[in-house]
Structure 1
Amino acid sequence: MEEETDVVEAKKVWESVKLYTVRCGLCSKWRLIPSKHKYEEIRAKMGEEMFECERAREWRPLVSCRHESDVKQDDSNMRWAMDKPNIPQTPPTWQRILRIRAEGGTKFADVYYVSPSNKRLRSMVELRRYLEDNPRYAEDKMKLSHFSFQPPVPLDDKYVAKRQNRDIGIGIGVMSTQNANVGAGGKLGHPPFSN
C-alpha cells in the first residue's frame, strides 16, 4: 500500500486553456469568466441552470444581453472547444488540468488530475488506486464521482485525425440541455453534439 508521503512528485503540467467563456442561453453572446474555479462552478450546474448574461454581474456589475459579446468566434488566434455539461467541480486542493494535443492526432486533449500531494493521475483506474492507497480521502468523503476525465470536443472537426485519415482541428467549452454553452480555451462556438 503506497502512502501519500511516498508519492513521487508529479512533473509540472502546464494548462493549455487561457480563457474561459460561457454562452448566454438567451442572447447567445459569450461572456468571459474571471477564473477557472468560477468556470467549473458554472459548468457543473449547466444541466440544471441556464447561464444568462445577468449572472456575469457577479464579476461585471453592468453587463447584460444588450452588451456586445466579450469574445468572437472568428478570432483566428484562439482555438475553440466545448465541454460537456455537468462535469463535477474539481475538489478543493486538487487540480484538473487540460492539455490540448497537437493538430492531426487521434485525440484532442488529455485530462489530468493533480492531487494535493502533487501526484498526477491520468485515468479513473489510476485515480481509484490512488484513493484506495490513501484512505484519508475516504474520510474526506472523496468519491470517484467527484472527477471526470471527459475531454472537451473540438469545434473544428478537422483538428483531430480520423483513425485512418490525417485531417486536423482544436478548441474548448460546455453546453447545457437548455442550449446555453460554457467554453474555455481559446475559441468557443456552437455545440458539436446535440441535446
Structure 2
Amino acid sequence: MALKEQSPATPKTSRKNPRVAARSIDTYTVQCNKCSKWRVISTEEEYEEIRSKMKESPYVCDRKLGISWDDPADIEYNATRTWLIDRPSIPKTPQGFKRSLVLRRDFSRMDAYYFTPTGKKLRTHNEIAAFIETNPKYQDVKLSAFNFTPPKVMEDTIPEHVVRKIPSIGKSNKKKALKDST
C-alpha cells in the first residue's frame, strides 16, 4: 500500500485544520509471492479481500487478469512516495463499516479507526462492542472482524523534510538523548 503526499501546487487540506495538508492512501498494492513484483490493486475492497486471505492464499501475479510473472511490475518500490506495509490476514471490514487509517504528522505510525454505517468513529474494540450492543441491526457482525493493527510505515520512504520525534522511552532517557544530540 502506498501513500502519496499531495504536491505543493495542488495541496489538499484536512477538514479539521485547513493549514495541514492531508495525507491519503492513493494506491493499493500487493507483492507477488513468486516473483516479488508489486501489483496495483484497483479498489480498496479488492485489496482488503486479498489481504484478509493472504496467509491461506498468497497473492501471485496470474490472479490479475492478463498478467504473468514475465510482465514488468506495475509499480516500483522507491522513495517517490511513502510506503505502508499492511499485516497479512487482517479481516475484511464488515459491510457498511469503513476502516480508516490516519498517518501521524511525524510519520512515526498510522492509527486505525472504524466508521459505523451511521458515521460514528470508533477507536477501540470496547466502542465497537458497545455500538453492536446498542444497535440490534448489527448483532450478526463479529467483534473479531475488526482489527486496529496499523500498517508499518517504511522508514526508507519517509520524506526527508519530515521532523521525527525522539522515541518516548522515558523522561530520563529522552533528556539524555537530547543532551547527547547537542
Fold-level match, TM-score > 0.5?
yes
Asked if 1:86 corresponds to 2:89, the answer is: yes
- Taking a change above 3 Å as real, the CA distance of residues 98 and 63 of structure 1, as seen in their structure-2 partners, is same
**Mapped contact 2:82–2:157 kept (Cα < 8 A):** no
Give the counterpart of 2:104 among 101, 104, 117. 101
SS in 1 for 2:106: coil
Asked if 1:43 corresponds to 2:51, the answer is: yes
Structure 1 match to 2:113 = 112
Q: Distance in 1 between matches of 2:54 and 2:43?
A: 17
Higher relative contact order (CA 8 A, sep 6+): 1
Asked if 1:26 corresponds to 2:27, the answer is: no
SS in 2 for 1:125: helix
Structure 2 match to 1:72 = 76
- What is the TM-score with the length of structure 2 in the denominator? 0.73
Residue type of the partner of 2:113? Y
- What is the TM-score with the length of structure 1 in the denominator? 0.68
Q: Distance in 2 between matches of 1:32 and 1:104?
A: 23
Once the two structures are superposed, what CA deviation does each residue of 1:22-49 show, in whole Å capped at 9, x if it has no partner?
A: 0000000000000000000000000100
Aligned residues, how many? 147
Once the two structures are superposed, what CA deviation does each residue of 1:136-170 show, in whole Å capped at 9, x if it has no partner?
A: 211xx11101111110111217967522469xxxx
**Mapped contact 1:15–1:98 kept (Cα < 8 A):** no
Residue type of the partner of 1:100? L
**Mapped contact 2:107–2:153 kept (Cα < 8 A):** no
Q: Distance in 1 between matches of 2:80 and 2:58?
A: 28
Shifted more, 150-159 versus 25-34: the winner is 150-159
Once the two structures are superposed, what CA deviation does each residue of 1:107-137 show, in whole Å capped at 9, x if it has no partner?
A: x011111111111111112111111111221
SS in 2 for 1:69: coil
Residue type of the partner of 1:163? S
5+ unaligned residues in a row in structure 2: which ranges? 1-14, 17-21, 159-163, 178-182
Q: Distance in 1 between matches of 2:157 and 2:74?
A: 26
5+ unaligned residues in a row in structure 1: which ranges? 1-11, 167-195
Structure 1 match to 2:128 = 127
Q: Distance in 2 between matches of 1:15 and 1:129?
A: 30
Q: Distance in 2 between matches of 1:77 and 1:157?
A: 11
Residue type of the partner of 1:82? I
**Mapped contact 1:15–1:97 kept (Cα < 8 A):** no
Once the 2 structures are TM-superposed, how far is the Cα of residue 93 of structure 1 from its aligned partner? 1.3
Considering only CA atoms, is the larger Rg found in Structure 1 or Structure 2?
A: 2
Percent sequence identity is: 36
Shifted more, 31-40 versus 156-165: the winner is 156-165
SS in 1 for 2:47: helix
Q: Distance in 2 between matches of 1:157 and 1:77?
A: 11
Relative to total residues, which structure has the larger helix share, 1 or 2? 2
SS in 1 for 2:45: helix
